[in-house]
Amino acid sequence: MELKISDHKPVSALFKSEICVVDQNKYRKVHEELLKKMDKLENEFLPQVTVDQTEVMFDMVKFREPQYRDIIIANTGQVLAEFEFIKKLDDVSYCKEWLSITPFSGCIRPGEKCDLRLQINLEQPLEKIYDILVLHLIGGKDMFITVSGECQRSCFTTSIATLCRCPVPLLQLTSDQLKHAENQQSPVLYSVPRELWLLIDHLYRNGLKTRELFESIALHEEIIRIRDWLDTGSLDPIPGSIHAVAEALLLFLSYTRDPVIPYHLHDACIAAASNYQSCKQIVLQKMPDLDRNVFLYLCMFLQELLKYSNENGTDAKTLATVFGDILLRDPIRNSRPQANRGKASFIYHFLINDPSTLIIPNK
């Protein structure tokens, strides 16, 4: 049909025609189905894993007594899964210092599994352990694993001031007795901790002539038995070899809540290390009474040990080096040679001079 419009005689017409239109309901349905297919396709090429447990509970955790738990990660996807544990916001590591994970990262092929081992080794005075681990998949989602457990107190991680106020061994204390001792609300009962006296007394009676007394490594089982013997107040003879008792003494001094010589005195001790009189003034005037008692008691024992140097083969410089890093231990291990030499020199003065002149009589 040919249409023409005349300026003189306007023409109008009505037409009926079929055109294509979109059915919105059908369009929406097809669109949703396509999105689902695309999403499914994308997910099939994302790493996917499952973890056999996301809550890990440990038995009663004890000082330096490792425990283990195993976790299985399975690759349920169709692509290689790369995983790693990552640190949380404001944390310096992916897990707490008492926890280690092996391996902490790795790759898993489709259909395969990876065994992870979580190890607890407690060296801090904690009542409970708790941590949230973030398992990160490269290109995938994060998963969260909680780790928890109750802790058993030990004399090895308790402060000198608390132990000197305990009327009975640590595990025999009631919660109120322990609270009062920790808050220094109960009286001082001992000049030095009972546990320290038991270790040194045994070494004094049986180990003065023993060679390499503080240089040999004891069996771990022996240390655990000595720990339990001290914490429970057993009336049985002290278990373990003489070298195990010596190592237990080193551990006791290394893990007390605070070092024998308080942190705030370390710089002064190192600065005064070349002058015995200056060292004496620090011990006499600045060290807390109980810390000074422990320090002098230990030095007098070491002097007794040196009297038998021909039999035991030890010398003052070696002992000063061993105990300097322990009695003047840093919050964070410091390996500067100059600082270590200063610590050893400070201790050395009290091994070659009579420390009994520094003992202040009880009031």
pLDDT tens digits for 103-162? 999 999 999 999 999 999 999 999 999 999 999 999 888 999 999 999 999 999 999 999
- Rounded average pLDDT over 157-182: 95
List the domains of the chain with CATH numbers. Answer: 49-150 (2.60.40.10), 258-363 (1.10.555.10)
- Predicted local confidence at residue 357, as pLDDT: 73
CA neighbor of 177 nearest in space, from 169, 152, 198, 123:
169
How do beta strands 113-120 and 105-108 pair? unpaired
Cα distances (angstroms) measured from residue 95 to each of 92, 167, 211, 215: 9, 37, 41, 32
pLDDT band of residue 358 (cuts 50, 70, 90) is confident
Q: Which helix (H) or strand (E) holds 83?
A: strand 81-86
Nearest alpha-carbon partner for 194 in 172, 225, 218:
172
Among residues 122, 188, 190, the alpha carbon closest in space to that of 154 is found at 122
Lowest model confidence (mean pLDDT) among 33-37, 51-55, 65-69, 349-353: 33-37
Higher-pLDDT residue of 216 and 328 is 328
Residue 101 host element (H or E):
strand 99-102
Q: Report pLDDT digits (tens) over 222-239.
A: 999 999 999 999 999 999
Mean pLDDT of all residues in 334-347 = 77
| Residue 196 confidence (pLDDT) | 98
DSSP state of 273: T
With 0-12 / 13-18 / 19 or more C-beta atoms within 10 angstroms meaning exposed / middle / buried, residue 21 is: exposed
Region 320-326 average pLDDT: 95
| Average pLDDT score over residue span 258-273 | 94
pLDDT classification of 21: cutoffs 50, 70, 90: confident
- Residue 174 vs residue 5, higher pLDDT: 174
pLDDT of the residue at 11: 62
Angle between helices 316-327 and 289-306 (to 10 degrees): 160
pTM: 0.83
pLDDT tens per residue across span 38-91: 777 666 778 999 999 999 999 999 999 999 999 999 999 889 999 999 999 888
Find the mean pLDDT for residues 185-205: 96
Distance CA 210, CA 308 (A): 9
- Which of 152, 145, 120, 142 lies closest to 47 in space, CA to CA? 142
